[in-house]
Amino acid sequence: MTGTPIDHREASASDLEAPTPGPLSFVDHAGLLEEVVQSLGQIGISRLHRFPTRTDRRMLPFEAVNLVHALAGRGNYVMDRTAIPEFYRGLAGLGTPRAAALLRLFVNALPTELEAWRELLGADLSDRAAAAGLLVPRGTRWASRVRIVPSHGRLFVTDVIEASRSDSIWLGKDSIILIESIRRRLAGRRLRNGLEVGSGSGIVSIHLAHFCERVLGIDINPRALDCARLNARANNLERVEFRRSDLYRDVPETFDVIVSNPPHVFIAPAARATQIYADGGEDYGTSLQMAILDGLHERLNPEGVALLLLVSPVVRGLDVLPERVRSRLAGRLLDFEFEPLFNNLSVENLEYHRAQGVQYNWVYLVTVRKANAFACRVLPAGAGVQAKSWAVRKLMTLAR
């Protein structure tokens, strides 16, 4: 990168009106995408952070909480949206120019002059990417149809989420938090096999392979499997298999470790059909999470452990998910431990949630082990977690 200034403007209205060319095939573009990943792999990315990807003015009242999350993230800025993207892009500019370009062009997938693409990827590769439809024109600028996200020295291809498409692949802050939790909990362990339920882009399965001889990722969305296989190849990992399965239906094996950040959003009925990656189903968006918990006893090896990033709505003071575990899974010989991480709100569904009595959500790291008797504990929230949760609830009251 020779130093063409990065264009920090947001996409203009006319840029965004450009027609979308339809879903990108991770099979047809596999060779080109692998080439792009290899080329970007030359960038020193170990110190690169993930930045908020979506601009949302409604987040302004929550920016203090965003900042706390960013500062507490120890290397991963884990929020997805912000009202002040310029602030975070300014931070990105403090790294090398190539790293800043990678963040802007691929992590945030913002439209940029072709010249900036040529400087990042080289003229030949960027021109071929444009000709193949991997880069698409947005007014006078070009935008990537995929995001490429750095994580612990690896790069992962995923979708730019299009709300109108049902088969979009989600790689969000929940994925990043789960990866950090797995790395912390399994540090120094060497396990025989692992399972990820709802593997999406494959990023969690691929990181899990650091601790397991073999990993199986399952997903109901065939596009997600194509994307995950591409990411495994681009990261030279043959020990990870991806298989189509509706939850555990086509998974007869048992595992030393099971992980998941499943769809967990309580979505208004009109929007449900369009969000496979997000729709948590019935009962305030907890039914899919409950089905995963329900199947654990049969799929875990005797000394096995499950690490799950789950979301529990608080409805008129009731913390739904631990309550459902106690009332519906009490016969299982399993030990459930809910570690509170923080509170969140679903900004898109705020009106619907208010109407349904949902006050906010708890985000939990849930650890499940086989045991001689059923047990379900919710650990007390630490002072930092309580402070952040208090701030979310206060700000939410102000936003009403």
Ligand X SMILES: C[S@@+](CC[C@H](N)C(=O)[O-])C[C@H]1O[C@@H](n2cnc3c(N)ncnc32)[C@H](O)[C@@H]1O
* Least distance to ligand X, CB of residue 210, Å: 15
* Span from 49-57, 219-227, 266-274, 373-381 in contact with ligand X (CB under 6 A): 219-227
Using rule CB under 6 A, residue 247 touches ligand X: yes
What's the CA gap between 61 and 400, in Å, rounded?
Answer: 11
Whole-angstrom distance, CA of residue 370 vs CA of residue 381: 24
Least distance from ligand X to the Cβ atom of residue 19, Å = 26
Q: Is 282 in the site for ligand X (CB under 6 A)?
A: no
Query: H/E element holding 332?
Result: none
Classified as helix, coil or strand, 3 is coil
Looking at the chain, the number of H-run helices and the number of E-run strands are: 16, 15
Shortest Å distance, C-beta 94 to ligand X: 27
Among 215, 218, 307, 315, binds ligand X (CB under 6 A): 218
Please state at what angle helix 123-131 crosses helix 114-121, rounded to 10 degrees: 120
Of 85, 95, 194, 200, the one binding ligand X by CB under 6 A: 200
| Residue of 261, 312, 346, 361 interacting with ligand X (CB under 6 A) | 261
**Quick check: 224 binds ligand X (CB under 6 A)?**
yes
- Select the span of 17-25, 69-77, 88-96, 261-269 touching ligand X (CB under 6 A): 261-269
Q: Does 262 bind ligand X (CB under 6 A)?
A: yes
Size of the site for ligand X (CB under 6 A): 21
Shortest spacing between CB 224 and ligand X, in angstroms: 4
Buried b (16+ CB within 10 A) or exposed e, 375-389: ebebeebeeebeebb
Residue 77: CB atoms within 10 A of its CB come to: 21
Closest CB 274 distance from ligand X, rounded Å: 13
Neighbours of 283 (CB within 10 A): 16
Q: List the interface residues with ligand X, window 153-192 (CB under 6 A).
A: 170-171, 175
- Degrees to nearest 5, angle at CA 366 with 275 and 158: 35
Beta carbon nearer to ligand X, 37 or 101 = 37
CA gap 241, 214 in Å, rounded: 8
Give the phi and the psi of residue 109 in degrees, each rounded to 5.
50, 50
Q: Which of residues 20-59 bind ligand X (CB under 6 A)?
A: none
Contact range with ligand X by CB under 6 A, out of 40-48, 135-143, 213-221, 299-307: 213-221
Residue 194 in contact with ligand X, rule: CB under 6 A: no
Produce one character per residue of 124-141: b if its CB has 16 or more CB atoms within 10 Å, e if not.
ebbebbbeeebbbebeeb
Give the residues lining the site for ligand X (CB under 6 A): 170-171, 175, 198-201, 203-204, 218-221, 224, 246-247, 261-263, 276-277
